[in-house]
Chain A
Amino acid sequence: MSETVLILGATSAIARATAAAFAVRGASLYLASRDLGELERIAADLRLRHNVEVHFGLFDAEATGTHEAFFQTVIEKMRGLSGVVLAFGYLGDQQAARDFKAGAKVIAANFTGAASILSHSANYFEPLQRGFIIGISSVAGDRGRQSNYVYGAAKGALSLYLQGLRNRLFPSGVRVITIKPGFVDTAMTYGLSGLFLVASPQAIGERIVAALGKSADVVYLPWFWRYIMLIIQHIPEPIFKRLKL
Chain B
Amino acid sequence: MPTLITSIFGWGRYPVQTCKLERPERYADLHSGAVSLIARGQGRSYGDAALNENRHVLLTERVNRLLAFDADKGILRAEAGVTLAEILDVIVPKGWFLPVTPGTKFVSLGGCVAADVHGKNHHHEGSFGDHVIAIDLILADGRHVTCSAAENADLFWATVGGMGLTGIIGEVVLKLIPIASSHMIVRHHAAGNLEQLFQHLQNPAIDDRYAVAWIDSLVTGQQLGRGIAMCGHHAAVDELPAGHGDALAIKPERSRKVPFDLPGWALNPLSIGAFNALYYRRAGKKTQPFLTGYDPYFYPLDAIDQWNRLYGKRGFVQYQCVIPDNAAFDGIRELLQELSGSRRPSFLAVLKRFGAQGRGLLSFPMAGYTLALDLPIRDEGLLVLLNKLDGIVLRHGGRVYLAKDARLSAESFRAMYPRYGEWLRIKSSVDPQNRFSSSLSRRLGIGEVTP
Interface residues of A (CB under 8 A from B): 11-13, 35, 37-38, 41-42, 44-45, 48-49, 186-187, 190-192
Contacts and interface: CB of A to CB of B under 8 A. Distances in A.
A44 B68 contact: yes
Contacts of B23: 187, 190
A44 B4 contact: no
B359 interface: no
Interface string B21-40: 10111111000000000000
A191 B3 contact: yes
B66 A44 contact: yes
Given A190-B4, A191-B3, A41 B79 contact: yes
Nearest to A16: B25
B2 interface: yes
Contacts, number: 46
Nearest to A186: B25
A45 B78 CA distance: 9
Interface of B: 2-5, 21, 23-28, 62, 65-69, 79, 86, 89-90
Contacts of A44: 65-68
A190 B24 CA distance: 10
Given A49-B90, A191-B3, A13 B25 contact: yes
Give the top 9 A-B pairs by smallest Cβ distance, nearest first: A45-B65, A191-B2, A191-B4, A48-B66, A41-B65, A187-B25, A44-B67, A45-B66, A190-B2
A15 B26 CA distance: 13
Contact of A37 (B3, B25, B28, B62): B28
A109 B64 CA distance: 27
A49 B68 CA distance: 11
A43 to B, nearest CB: 9
Contacts of B67: 41, 44-45, 48
A145 B2 CA distance: 22
Given A38-B26, A187-B25, A190-B23, A48 B2 contact: no
B62 A13 contact: yes
Given A41-B79, A191-B2, A192-B2, A49 B28 contact: no
Nearest to B82: A45
Contacts of A48: 66-69, 90
A186 B2 CA distance: 11
A215 B151 CA distance: 57
Contact of B27 (A37, A186, A187, A192): A37
Contact of B66 (A12, A38, A49, A191): A49
B65 A42 contact: yes
